């Protein structure tokens, strides 16, 4: 663990190797037609990715892949935002990226003109996240390690330099972060072995979409338990009578020992959230997720204070480390839900994992969508091996959906995510999938539009 900044130095490229292309793709899957993914705020999502590939002139021909997840319309806006970052990326030296991937993150966030469009939130920040994640994908591939392992093997001194402490140093100093990472090194090898053997616990949202019938909910809930999951999740918040009926059906299907989380997807204000959940409390929900706006730190704190029999969770729409910091400061959440593709990428998620570790709050990532499981597993696995050191009360969301489009899809067995072994961030989408679902000119969409064109012609 001494000598070099990273414990395993990747094979260095020729000094001249640089980023030569930043290719972007608008990819959309027609998921709204099946009501997969339907919830109280998102009745008809078309799961989509604003996808980016960083290409270099290095001899190894390795690429960095990353994306922002969206739910359909506006995916083109997200692509435009990634395109706006291209001039900042072209020509960057690959060796420098490998030594300090955080340099890209810092430079992109510091672009004063683009910063005006956030700052550090929304479309522009998610675009930065897609690019930063693509950089880490490339870096881990060059190190010939899956990202979780690359991060877990990294020196604490190097890792802490990857974190931007601006606006969070009032609660988490660099020194404290370093101490946490150094502490995380103890027993890391044993935990890595455990992870490879048993995987990381998951929970499934597959039974709980609002668009599903009670029969389908019951069948899928039973299947989840049979598959080894110890926690499922139901979407709630559209209709109270429906929620009571569905919650009752789910509880009947899984019995008293399986955790049932519920997710309102920001549907309520503070008092509605409290009133609604006091009613559902009869069915022992494990957590209430996104009871209100992700921006409402003080609102979450009030809700948590009022609902003592269940946990309060949020994070998939939390815009950056600054809001996560305050959720922790205010005692507003019991469970912190990071998303791999909402904030500014791996560097900012490192900051958020450190904040959570500092406060001792468990991280249970948001996943599902397109490729979010593939990405976020790496962050939780790093956290287990080399930061928090535990999987207690920690689960990664799992939805069995669209994984077939990825080159290195997640493997969930017995309710556990198997540790990835392929180098990189598991972000690469299969080229056939890109060719089929590229919008609007991919094979699927072109064929889909054909009859309408015939009619309107």
- Residues designated as active site: 235, 366
Toward its own copies, which CB reaches closer, 320 or 433? Answer: 320
Contact segment (CB under 8 A) with its own copies among 92-100, 199-207, 266-274, 346-354 equals 266-274
| Of positions 190, 295, 432, 448, contacts its own copies by CB under 8 A | 295
Decide whether 272 or 400 has the Cβ nearer to its own copies.
272
CB closer to its own copies, 13 vs 345: 345
Q: Give yes or no for residue 278 binding its own copies (CB under 8 A).
A: no
First to last CA, the chain: 68
Among 185, 248, 317, 394, binds its own copies (CB under 8 A): 317
Question: Minimum Å distance from CB 30 to its own copies?
Answer: 13
Residue 80 binds its own copies, judged by CB under 8 A: yes
- Residue from 262, 229, 213 nearest 400 by CA: 229
Least distance (Å) between residue 180 CB and its own copies: 19
Complete DSSP assignment for 262-308? EE-TT---HHHHHHHHHHHGGG-EEEEE--S-TT-HHHHHHHHHH-T
Find the shortest distance in angstroms from Cβ 292 to its own copies. Answer: 6
Which one among 78, 218, 347, 391 touches its own copies, defined by CB under 8 A? 78
- Region for residue 273 given its phi and psi (left: phi exceeds 0; alpha: psi -120 to 50; beta: otherwise): alpha
- By beta-carbon proximity to its own copies, the closer residue of 48 and 388 is 48
* Residues 368 and 175 sit within 8 Å (Cβ to Cβ): no
Instruction: Pinpoint the alpha helices (H) of 90-163.
Output: 94-99, 102-110, 112-115, 122-142, 147-153, 156-160
Instruction: Compare residues 155 and 348 and give the one whose CB is closer to its own copies.
Output: 348
**Closer of 13 and 291 to its own copies (Cβ):** 291
Which x/- pattern over 108-147 shows residues binding its own copies (rule: CB under 8 A)?
---xxxxxxxxxxxxxxxx---------------------
Sign of the CA dihedral running 124, 129, 130, 136: positive
**Interface with its own copies by CB under 8 A: which range of 197-205, 296-304, 306-314, 404-412?**
296-304
Interface with its own copies (CB under 8 A), residue from 105, 319, 377, 380? 319
Residues from 18 through 77 that contact its own copies (CB under 8 A): 41-46, 70-74, 76-77
Q: Which is nearer to its own copies, 117 or 281 (CB)?
A: 117
The answer to whether the Cα torsion of 391, 394, 400, 403 is positive or negative is: negative
- Tell me the closest approach of the beta carbon of residue 105 to its own copies, in angstroms: 17
**388 in helix, strand or coil?**
coil
Q: What are the backbone angles phi and psi of residue 63, rounded to the nearest 5°?
A: -120, 155
Neighbours of 324 (CB within 10 A): 29
DSSP at 403 = G
Give least dist CB 167 to its own copies, A: 4
Maximum CA pair distance of the chain? 69
CB of 307 to its own copies, least distance (A): 15
Binds its own copies (CB under 8 A): choice among 205, 266, 377, 433: 266
Q: 404: how many CB neighbours lie within 10 A of its CB?
A: 8
**Window 330-349: residues binding its own copies (CB under 8 A):** 330
**Residue 271 found at the interface with its own copies (CB under 8 A):** yes
Q: Which run of H or E residues covers position 416? A: strand 416-417
Task: Give the DSSP H/E element, type plus range, for residue 447.
Answer: helix 443-456
**327: three-class secondary structure by DSSP:** helix
Sign of CA dihedral 99, 102, 104, 106: negative
Q: Which of 72, 78, 98, 105 is nearest to 19 (CA)?
A: 98
d(CA 236, CA 243): 6
Letters for 186-215 (x = contact with its own copies by CB under 8 A, - = none) are ------------------------------
Backbone angles phi, psi at 204, to 5 degrees: -120, 140
Number of residues that bind its own copies (CB under 8 A): 61
| Of the residues 292, 349, 391, 433, which one makes contact with its own copies according to CB under 8 A | 292
| Complex with its own copies: residue 45 or 423, whichever CB lies closer | 45
- Contact positions toward its own copies, by CB under 8 A? 41-46, 70-74, 76-78, 80-81, 84, 111-126, 165-170, 266, 269-271, 292-299, 302, 317, 319-320, 322-323, 325-326, 329-330
């Amino acid at each position: 663990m001494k000598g070099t900044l990273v414990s395993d130095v990747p094979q260095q490229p020729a000094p001249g190797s640089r980023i030569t292309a930043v290719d972007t793709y608008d990819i959309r899957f027609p998921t709204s037609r099946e009501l997969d993914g339907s919830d109280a705020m998102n009745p008809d999502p078309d799961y989509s990715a604003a996808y980016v590939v960083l290409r270099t002139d290095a001899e190894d021909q390795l690429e960095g892949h990353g994306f922002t997840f969206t739910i359909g319309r506006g995916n083109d806006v997200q692509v435009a935002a990634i395109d706006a970052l291209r001039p900042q990326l072209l020509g960057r030296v690959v060796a420098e990226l490998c030594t300090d991937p955080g340099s890209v993150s810092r430079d992109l966030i510091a672009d004063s003109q683009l910063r005006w469009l956030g700052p550090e939130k929304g479309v522009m920040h998610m675009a930065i996240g897609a690019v930063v994640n693509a950089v880490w994908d490339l870096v881990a591939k060059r190190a010939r390690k899956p990202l979780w392992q690359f991060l877990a093997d990294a020196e604490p001194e190097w890792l802490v330099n990857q974190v931007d402490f601006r606006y969070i140093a009032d609660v988490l100093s660099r020194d404290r972060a370093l101490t946490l990472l150094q502490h995380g090194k103890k027993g890391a090898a044993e935990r890595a072995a455990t992870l490879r053997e048993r995987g990381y616990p998951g929970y499934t949202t597959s039974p709980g979409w609002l668009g599903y019938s009670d029969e389908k909910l019951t069948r899928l809930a039973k299947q989840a338990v049979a598959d080894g999951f110890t926690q499922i999740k139901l979407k709630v918040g559209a209709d109270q009578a429906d929620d009571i009926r569905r919650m009752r059906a789910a509880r009947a299907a899984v019995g008293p020992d399986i955790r049932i989380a519920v997710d309102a997807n920001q549907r309520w204000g503070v008092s509605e959230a409290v009133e609604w959940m006091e009613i559902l409390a009869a069915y022992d929900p494990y957590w209430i997720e996104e009871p209100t706006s992700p921006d409402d730190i003080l609102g979450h704190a009030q809700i948590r204070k009022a609902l003592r029999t269940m946990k309060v969770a949020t994070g998939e729409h939390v815009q950056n480390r600054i809001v996560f910091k305050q959720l922790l400061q205010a005692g507003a959440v019991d469970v912190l839900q990071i998303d791999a593709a909402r904030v500014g990428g791996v560097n900012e998620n490192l900051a958020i994992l450190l904040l959570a570790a500092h406060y001792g709050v468990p991280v249970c990532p948001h996943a599902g969508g397109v490729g979010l499981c593939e990405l976020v597993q790496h962050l939780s696995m790093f956290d287990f091996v080399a930061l928090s050191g535990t999987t207690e009360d920690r689960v990664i969301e799992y939805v069995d959906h669209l994984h077939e489009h990825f080159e290195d899809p997640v493997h969930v067995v017995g309710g556990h995510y198997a540790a990835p072994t392929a180098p990189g961030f598991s972000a690469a989408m299969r080229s056939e999938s890109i060719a089929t679902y590229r919008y609007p000119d991919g094979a699927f969409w072109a064929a889909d539009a054909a009859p309408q064109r015939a009619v309107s012609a």
